[in-house]
Chain A
Amino acid sequence: MTDMHLDGNALGALFIDLFGQEMTDQNGCCDACGAVNPFGRAVVYRDAPGDVMRCPDCGAVLIVAVRTETRLRVSIQSLRWIEVLE
């Protein structure tokens, strides 16, 4: 059975709100397994009730986002680094 997950581009707007720029084509490194992938390749579970972004290689939780009417709370979990091309 397929899990109803999405790709990292589903969180595209969130990344822009958070990082101030387009992130789906930028790389991040998973702290749990060391895999490097562009954000667009992440495995995303939406409305879980929050949004959960997981490493496409090992499934570790990278980012959790909870958005209320007045604020956006983002928890950075197993992200060792993110890289932005200059």
Chain B
Amino acid sequence: MERTAVRGRLNWLVAEVVDLIDETGTVKSIVLDCPDWPLQLPGQHVDIRLTAEDGYQAQRSYSIANPPAGEKVVVTVELVDDGEVSPYLIGELAVGDQIELRGPIGGYFVWTPEHGGPVQLVAGGSGLVPLMAMIRALAESDRQVPVRLLTSARSRETLIYGDELRRLQSSLDNLEVAYTLTRAQPADWQGYSRRVDQQMLAETSWPATERPLGFVCGPTGFVETVAANLVALGHDAARIKTERFGPSGG
């Protein structure tokens, strides 16, 4: 597996906000231009640091949403109730503002098309962000690695990247996407309507005999349930990588 070439302490870099994209009512993608940015691998995250005028600082980690693109770094941030950093990033940050970040971080929860497959991706809520970086890398690649994604959201309104996933699903022969909306579904909904369980995973994921590379991301409880179910379906635990976001998500 290729190594991320990070040596020495991670330095804080200054990036400029070049675009802000409303993904849903509570999720925003922030497009940053970051000089001297070391290229990321899909699945990695960045730390973002905010400093108030009196020197007070707060710092959080966010998954990177885009595959390597020179000095462009995209983070997709979900608003956390009573949060400290996400309300600022979503509600206050404007194009032209500067922001400090360091990274990319993480060499374990990483996948590129060169790693091969088949690949099983399972996302809960904003856990879709690092997996989307992987899917976007797949879309840019010549390698036709077979990838299956199961993504869970509360409703269509809270499903991130919905249009893009539908577009990629039809344009890429090697990408299959299954959706479950756990709280509210539109009238013509054809996907699943419940929390991810073993039956749903059995119907949407690669059989264990295919020995897929698994990546599961989302709130801690979601990740635990999915990982346990995948193992119960016969998948090798060593081939399932997890990124828990904590109780409330990323």
Contacts and interface: CB of A to CB of B under 8 A. Distances in A.
A40 B43 CA distance: 12
A34 interface: no
Contacts of B9: 16-17, 20
B108 A25 contact: yes
Interface stretch (B22-30, B151-159, B186-194, B240-248): B240-248
Given A16-B10, A17-B10, A25-B1, A4 B105 contact: no
B204 interface: no
A43 to B, nearest CB: 10
B221 interface: yes
B3 to A, nearest CB: 7
Interface of B: 1, 3-4, 6-10, 45, 47, 61, 102-103, 105-110, 220-221, 224, 241-247
27 contacts: A2-B220, A2-B224, A4-B247, A5-B220, A5-B244, A6-B220, A6-B246, A7-B243, A9-B106, A12-B106, A12-B107, A13-B102, A13-B103, A16-B6, A16-B105, A22-B3, A22-B106, A24-B108, A24-B109, A25-B1, A25-B3, A25-B107, A26-B107, A40-B241, A41-B241, A46-B246, A85-B3
Interface in A1-54: 2-10, 12-13, 16-17, 20-26, 38-41, 46
Nearest to B130: A9
A1 to B, nearest CB: 9
A14 to B, nearest CB: 9
B105 A12 contact: yes
A39 B108 contact: yes
A9 B245 CA distance: 10
A8 B108 contact: yes
Contact of B45 (A9, A17, A40): A9
Query: Which of B45, B106, B110, B242 gathers the greatest number of chain A CB atoms within 10 Å?
Result: B106
B61 to A, nearest CB: 7
